[in-house]
Amino acid sequence: MDDIYNTMKINNLQKLNESGFNYDPQLICEKDNRYCQAIFSVPNPEQTNFTPEFYQLQNILSTEENGITYYINNQNFLSAGTFHFTFIQQITFNNYYVLSNEVINKYCDIMSKILYKYLPFKIYYNKLIAVTNGLVLCGDASININTLRDEYRTECKINNLPLIEPYYLNIIHSTLFRFTNKQNTKEFLDKYEYYLNNDVDYGYIVIDHFNFGKATWKVNMNEICMDYILKNNK
């Protein structure tokens, strides 16, 4: 995925140099009511093996006044987010609508029949990339995640089930920091230059299930709705 990530870095840096960081003040709240429909995973501490470099970066970000940092098992619902991995956005935030139980069951049945070939797997993080609204950790998985995604997309199409993705997701990323207020772009990029310009071993997480449900930008437990837990049932 290195070529994809290099292109992602170049494209986002160009946008940042032209327009600076976007920010979302609505994230500072006890409960965000903006939703998307997604398949995602929220690892608990026992499913993580992060390195000291990860925690060092996270601690530095926690001192930033113009944004929120994402944590494992987050309990600060007002001004922090929960670390997670999104497999796919079924329905984007802008297009969100409530799915019927019948439709949800069809989606989950498709995903469950595919997952037995893939779960569990690991995600290894080694890149920090600046995007238009913050920072994301990227890396590789012990499986071909895009093969799994494409299998799911194909089965949804065959079964006439809509997928309204914001973009064609072909990367592995987890949000680590998101802006809530205006930030001097150059100062911020300069401050995190080492992390942004070098591959660093941040450790890994273990994915042994996915959640199908409503997700928010912060993915905090007081906000999200996990309709179904999708596991390897073989």
Q: Using alpha carbons only, what angle is made at residue 73 by residues 44 and 33, rounded to the nearest 5 degrees? A: 115
Q: What is the pLDDT of residue 233?
A: 58
Q: How many helices (H) and strands (E) does the chain have?
A: 6, 11
Is residue 22 within 8 A of residue 178, CB to CB? The reply is no
> Per-10-residue mean pLDDT for the chain, 234 residues long?
94 97 97 96 96 98 97 97 96 94 94 91 98 98 96 96 92 98 97 98 96 96 89 65
Q: What is the pLDDT of residue 227?
A: 80
Q: What is the pLDDT of residue 207?
A: 96
Residue 155 per-residue DSSP state: H
Q: What is the pLDDT of residue 234?
A: 52
DSSP for 200-222, written as a single string: ---EEEEE-EEEEEEE-SS--TT
Q: What is the pLDDT of residue 231?
A: 80
Homologous superfamily (CATH) of 2-231 is Cyclic phosphodiesterase (3.90.1140.10)
Q: Residue 223, exposed/middle/buried by CB under 10 A (0-12, 13-18, 19+)?
A: buried
Beta bridge partners of 213: 38, 226
Q: What is the pLDDT of residue 104?
A: 93
**Could you tell me the two tokens for 75?**
């309990």
Q: What is the pLDDT of residue 152?
A: 96
